Amino acid sequence: MATASRSTPVPAAVRRGGLAARALRALPALAVAAGPAALLALAYRPSYVNYDARYSLLWARDILHGRTPDYTGAFAPTPHPLQTLVSVLALPFGDDSARAMAALTLLSLGALTWVVYRLGAELGSPAAGAVAAAVVASRPALDRFALIGYQDLAFAALVCWAVLLELRRPRRGPAVLTALAVAGLIRPDAWVLSALYVAYLWRGADPRRRAGLVALAALAPLVWVAQDWAITGEPLHSLHGTQKLAGEVRRSRPPQEIPTRTAWYFKLLLLWPAALAVPAGLLLAWRTRLRRALPLLAAATALTAFIVLTALIGLALIQRYLVTPAALLAVFYGLGVFGWLRLPPGAARRRWQAVGLAALALSLAYIPWQAGLFERLDRRVHNEGRTYADLRLVGKSAAVRARFERCGAISTIGHRPVPDLRWWLDGRPGSIDLVEGSKRRVGPLLLVPRARPWLWAEYRTRFAKVRPPAGYGVLYRNRTWTVYAAPAPCGTGVLARPPGGDES
């Protein structure tokens, strides 16, 4: 009978039914992933991407044109291998490549929302998962990161997925490490999780399995080192460059500030009602001996510890680095609100029900204040959109392009306009001369910001009063930017007023 069973073909109707059933099961995940993305896109109409994402698009274009990307340029961000690869895929969209990148990060937020729901449902109940997912989808900080193309959301979705895989099948091994390897091409935090996971699986694994686990864990660091070595000749360029950049843009923190700053960032990401209820979820998991929550708690703890330790050695400590542990902690908020549903009837269940409903009531009472945060987000996205739209007009100006093509260089006051300006001018690496701090000599063209209410705050206070060198005349001007040209076609000059020091 076994032979007959193996030789019997599977009916087409059964195959179709299986595929249809799987597709039907995938519909909720697709709906959740696409829902927040569509709502945010309709509400805010993203049109620009952040500094790092624009640089990744530039580097991808340089690579396709056979140029060496300027990883070592002044104020250049850390080059992330997967982001550069994804940027190559976005380049066919041309002028809309930024929107393509924003669409991907919006979908990453949707994917993160779904995975967080699944984590909450696995550990507690669908209600707990729904609350945790609602927290992730409705935080203004996370929504802004998605709207302007921050890769941290894709990283968070991959790490949370790896945790979910382990949750569903403990000691799963290669599948978890594969997800972490992909995440490790976005941020090095995942390398720590991979190493810890290999150590966890080491005992009881035979030599062949150990070799496979180590190879998967080492894949992302090796790719990263190979990228840095090939482009810059320095295998550890990303580490050294990130440390240098943190000091230049004043993102490194004194050791005594790091604990309070970290707690403050968690509060900003989760908002304080959820932040207050997370300990309730942790306590409930401990009291009910919910051992399945250990991988989630271990990942959140390891990631936070890694970020704190890197901050102690001089690397940056900023809010978006904590997106992934915050998303994992949101699951414990869901447990704090609805974890009592797992308890048997009795006094303990009633006590935890009261705690959960009180936590939920706090969040509901906070909605009017949260609406104010969304209004601020709307103003910020609108203002930054105007700033970047005007920068695009500079790059599309026929007069500016003609002089730039003739002389091959333009100077900018401050580093923030650099990647967008080079993108719109189709400039080569090194064609933008950065004027910041004490540097006062400029090239044949000079881009100066105008004091406008929608301009970046540090530019209004530090750079908007810069005066061009004597003899420079206005070549182009719009609402936000003025381009001055040297009296000689490709001459140079010295600023009449220094650019005002480094930005914060």
Q: Are residues 418 and 360 in the same domain?
A: no
pLDDT at 195 over 50: yes
> Would residue 5 count as lying in a domain?
no
Q: Which residue has the higher pLDDT, 238 or 19?
A: 238
Based on DSSP, count helices (H) and strands (E) in the chain, helices before strands: 21, 7
Q: Are residues 227 and 336 in the same domain?
A: yes
Tell me the pLDDT of the chain averaged across its residues.
90
Apex CA 88: angle with CA 86 and CA 94, to 5°? 115
pLDDT tens digits, residue range 354-401?
Answer: 999 999 999 999 999 999 999 999 999 999 999 999 999 999 999 999
For the chain, what is the radius of gyration of the CA atoms?
26
pLDDT tens digits, residue range 83-113?
Answer: 999 999 999 999 999 999 999 999 999 999 9
The per-residue DSSP string of 168-226 comes to HSTT--HHHHHHHHHHTTT-THHHHHHHHHHHHHHTT--HHHHHHHHHHHHHHHHHHHH
Q: Are residues 430 and 486 in the same domain?
A: yes
Percent of the chain at pLDDT exceeding 70: 93
> Would residue 280 count as lying in a domain?
yes
Q: Are residues 226 and 286 in the same domain?
A: yes
Region 117-128 average pLDDT: 94
Q: Are residues 476 and 355 in the same domain?
A: no
Q: Are residues 355 and 439 in the same domain?
A: no
> Would residue 373 count as lying in a domain?
no
pLDDT tens digits, residue range 196-227?
Answer: 999 999 998 999 999 999 999 999 999 999 99
- Check residue 405 and give its pLDDT: 95
- Check residue 32 and give its pLDDT: 83
CA distance 285 to 300: 15
CA distance 494 to 500: 14
- Check residue 191 and give its pLDDT: 97
> Would residue 426 count as lying in a domain?
yes
- Check residue 2 and give its pLDDT: 39
> Would residue 392 count as lying in a domain?
no
Region 435-440 average pLDDT: 81
- Quote the domain boundaries for residue 20: 14-365
- Check residue 246 and give its pLDDT: 67
Contact 503, 458 (CB under 8 A): yes
Q: Are residues 475 and 403 in the same domain?
A: yes
Which of these ranges, 13-17, 142-146, 376-380, 489-493, has the smallest mean pLDDT? Answer: 13-17
- Check residue 249 and give its pLDDT: 64
- Check residue 19 and give its pLDDT: 64
Q: Are residues 404 and 359 in the same domain?
A: no
> Would residue 372 count as lying in a domain?
no
> Would residue 8 count as lying in a domain?
no
Contact 417, 391 (CB under 8 A): yes
Q: Bridge-partner residues for 321, per DSSP? A: none
CA distance 262 to 489: 51
- Check residue 13 and give its pLDDT: 45
Q: Are residues 409 and 335 in the same domain?
A: no
> Would residue 233 count as lying in a domain?
yes
For 492, phi then psi, to 5°, come to: -130, 170
- Which tokens belong to 259? 């604990």
Percent of the chain at pLDDT exceeding 90: 73
Q: Are residues 185 and 49 in the same domain?
A: yes
Q: Are residues 312 and 403 in the same domain?
A: no
Region 178-185 average pLDDT: 98
Q: Give which of 98, 184, 107 is closest to 146, Cα–Cα.
A: 107
pLDDT at 9 over 60: no
- Check residue 29 and give its pLDDT: 83
pLDDT tens digits, residue range 395-413?
Answer: 999 999 999 999 999 999 9
Contact 412, 448 (CB under 8 A): no
- Which tokens belong to 266? 């968690």
pLDDT at 7 over 60: no
- Check residue 171 and give its pLDDT: 94
Residue at token pair 């039914």: 17
pLDDT band at 74 (very low <50, low <70, confident <90, very high): confident
pLDDT at 183 over 80: yes
- Check residue 26 and give its pLDDT: 78
pLDDT band at 10 (very low <50, low <70, confident <90, very high): very low
**Count of domains in the chain?**
2
Q: Are residues 251 and 360 in the same domain?
A: yes
